[in-house]
Structures are given as C-alpha cells and as structure tokens.
Structure 1
Amino acid sequence: MLKIWGRLNSTNVKKVVWAARELSLPYEHANAGGPFGLVNEPEYRALNPNGLVPCVEDEGLVLWESNAVVRYLAARHGAGTLWPENPAVRAIGDKWMDWTSTSFAAPFRDVFWNLIRLDPEKRDMGAVEAGIVACADLLARADAALADHPYLSGDAFAMGDIPLGCFAYGWFEMPIARPSMPHLEAWYARLKDRPAYREAVMTPLT
C-alpha cells in the first residue's frame, strides 16, 4: 500500500494526497514535519535525505519531491485521466507544474507565512505587499492561459492542475485584496466541485 509521510497542512503534501484521492488509491498516512518532528530522525533521513515532506513509499519505491510523486502516481495509476496519453497534451500541463514550483511558490510563501503562520508582531508587511504584487503578476499568466482552455492541463483536468490548484486555495481564501481574474476564478470554482480537492486541499489554513 502507498504510504505518505507529511503534515496535511503542507501545500506539497496536499498535492500528493489530492492526487491519491483523485485516483481512488488506498494509502497510509504518517504525520511528519513541523510540530510532528520525525524528519530529522535517522530512519526518516534514510528515506529522504533532505529531511522534508512529503515522502512516499510504494511497493519498495521511495520517492520525494512532490511534483515527481504526483507524476509517478499519475503515470502508474492515471493513464488517460491524470496522465494524458498524448505527450504533447501532457506537456501542456507539465510545464505549469514546474512553473508553480520555480516561479510562484516563493512570492506566495512570503504572503502565506507572514499572514497565516507568523504572529502579528513578527510579520513583515512589506514582504506581504511585494508578494501579493508578484503573485498577481504571475497569476495573470495563468488567467490568460485559462481563457483558452478550462484547465491548465488543457481541455480536461489532469496532473498539471494539481500544484497551482493547491496554492490557489490559499490565494483565494487568505484575507487579502486580489485583482479580478475571471478565468482563474472560474477554474478555481471547477476545482472546488471536485470531492478529492475539497477533502485534500480545502482544510483550515494553518
């Protein structure tokens, strides 16, 4: 059985749990990271030398890096659904997975950590304001792409929607002023209609 280590309020862990739920995969979950510790223990570092979450084990395969795990689960269990069979179609969503991690995650983190995870007296509101501007600029690119297709993956929901979909929950639910992006908002509404998204992603922001 698939085993997933990680704290469930982690965006990267949410990616993996959401993918598993979309695929109706049974899995065992073990809390790790943050207040749960474990990630610096020798037995965990033997699985993931980075000491981060998530980490998964599936029939002897140990894997870390959340996007890599989502791709693996999609390829193994989601051919024709989460894993589009046409390589060109698959690449459309694949690029958004890496874009989310390499471009969007850092400015989003400045907003989220300061507003949600830090006590008010420790917040850097300058970083929040700059992060909101940077996130809005980046999300405008996703909004433009979604004007042509209902999903970042193209005409159907697939793995390419999962990483940004996890961040989108925080973006739309944090108490911040956001510019109107109708295509992005419609995409977010479509994600919220998915039971697996509601179960895995729409948990309290902490």
Structure 2
Amino acid sequence: MKLYFSRNPNPRLAVATARFLKAEVAFEYAEPLAPGQADRYRPLNPNLLLPILERPGRALWEADAIACFLSRQVGSNLWRRDDDEPEMVRWISWGKENFVKACDMVHWERGTKLRYGIGTCDEAMVEEGMKAFHKAARLLDAELSAHAWLVGEAVSYADFRMATFLPYNDVARLRLADYPALARWAGQLEAIDAWRDPFRGLDAPALPPISG
C-alpha cells in the first residue's frame, strides 16, 4: 500500500496516524493539483485532494477513512472498535464542525492564504474564527479537566482528529494557554513521536513560507 501525502493538515494527520500505527505502507509526497499531475491522481481520488491510500482494489481517500482502515489492518484500538466507538465518533463529528473548523478558519486566513498567494488575511474572518475557537475550547477544556484523553484512558483517533491544526499554531496563534486542560492535552500529543514529527525521514518538501 502507498500513502500519498503533503505537509498540509489533513495529509499530515494521515501520515501521523499511519506512523503511530506502524502500518506497512510506503509514503510518497504528491501534488495532484500541480500542472500535469491531475490525470495520474484522478483515478485514485476524483477530488484531487490528499491524503490518498493506494491499496489493492479501490483506493481510499479522506483521512478519517484511512485511519479507520489502517487501524483495523494492524489490529489497533486507536480507532475504537469496542463500546467506546460511538463516543469516539461523537468527538470526531463534533470536532470537525466546531473546534477543528474554528482552527481551520483562523489558519486559512493567517496561514494557507498567505502561503499559496490566495489573498490577504481577512481580520474579520480571523475574529469570527477566534470566537468559534474560544466557544469550542471552553467545552473541550471542561471535558479534558476530568479526563486525560477524549475517550477512555488512552489516546484515540478522536484526539488526533481534534488536534489536526494544532501543529500549525505557530502561524494560527490560537490562545491555547487560556485553557490549561486543553494545553496539557496538546502537550501529551506532542510527546508522541509520530504526532510531533510524522515526516521524519520522509521526502517531504517544506511548506511555502508565509508572505505578506
């Protein structure tokens, strides 16, 4: 199997998951939207987005689906398969519509747009994203003040998914320090080698610098 990736948030999430699981996959940096590349990747993912897992039969795309598949392949409970699975799915679903979405809004303005020359940072959108971040962070902080991880007593994929954009916080500048339990949880994730440095040893060109 081969995992096509880039250094952007969702592909990073897939690489971190695969390396945490020690899954038997090859890693290949890819740019499906680069000139002349679309025809190669469209049969794997008609959206031309990463990550993509090329495997026997039908290719798999979307980080959450890839995480589910790889976790099952290696027999890991990172993707919960017991009575905690509904709880894990709840946090994945809530996170993508709340905390992760808020982080993405701010990172898009302060990071992605400036890296790729899409436009200037819209401070009104940053403010909207920050409001959503604080609303979601308060709920997460309360939850994590009573639990080390989101689900049960060990890290789950819900933690990885919730933290998708936190490795880019040098750019987004979200105020994690305002939320002690949330900051502690983020620190626990940073202590996991596969999460902290998923691209170690891989051919993975750096992201474009922030401009403007």
Which bracket does the TM-score occupy, shorter chain normalised? 0.7 to 0.9
| 2:149 match | 151
The separation in 2 between residues aligned to 1:39 and 1:51, in whole angstroms, is 12
| TM-score of the aligned structures, taking structure 2 as reference length | 0.81
More helix by share: 1
2:62 pairs with 1:65: yes
Contact 1:166 1:201 in 2 (8 A): no
Task: Please identify, of 111-120 and 151-160, the stretch whose mean Cα deviation from structure 2 is larger.
Answer: 111-120
Contact 2:51 2:62 in 1 (8 A): yes
**SS of the counterpart of 1:160?**
helix
1:45-194 counterparts in 2 under 5 A? 45-79=42-76, 81-86=77-82, 88-119=83-114, 122-171=120-169, 174-178=172-176, 180-194=178-192
| 1:4 match | 3
Contact 2:177 2:183 in 1 (8 A): no
Q: What are the ranges of 5 or more consecutive residues in structure 2 without an aligned counterpart?
A: none
Contact 1:7 1:33 in 2 (8 A): yes
| 1:44 match | 41
**SS of the counterpart of 1:53?**
coil
The separation in 2 between residues aligned to 1:23 and 1:115, in whole angstroms, is 32
Aligned length: 201
Q: What are the ranges of 5 or more consecutive residues in structure 1 without an aligned counterpart?
A: none
Instruction: Summarize the Cα distance change of 1:128–1:205 in structure 2 as closer, same or farther, 3 Å threshold.
Output: farther
| 2:28 match | 30
The separation in 2 between residues aligned to 1:60 and 1:109, in whole angstroms, is 33
Task: Please identify, of 36-45 and 151-160, the stretch whose mean Cα deviation from structure 2 is larger.
Answer: 36-45
- What amino acid does structure 2 have at the position aligned with 1:98? S
1:52-83 CA-to-partner distances (Å, cap 9, x unmatched) read 1111113334101111111111122143x313
- What amino acid does structure 1 have at the position aligned with 2:142? A
Identity %: 25
What is the Cα deviation at residue 137 of structure 1? Answer: 0.8
The separation in 2 between residues aligned to 1:179 and 1:171, in whole angstroms, is 12
The separation in 2 between residues aligned to 1:151 and 1:173, in whole angstroms, is 25
Contact 1:56 1:69 in 2 (8 A): yes
Contact 1:54 1:66 in 2 (8 A): yes
Instruction: Summarize the Cα distance change of 1:189–1:124 in structure 2 as closer, same or farther, 3 Å threshold.
Output: same
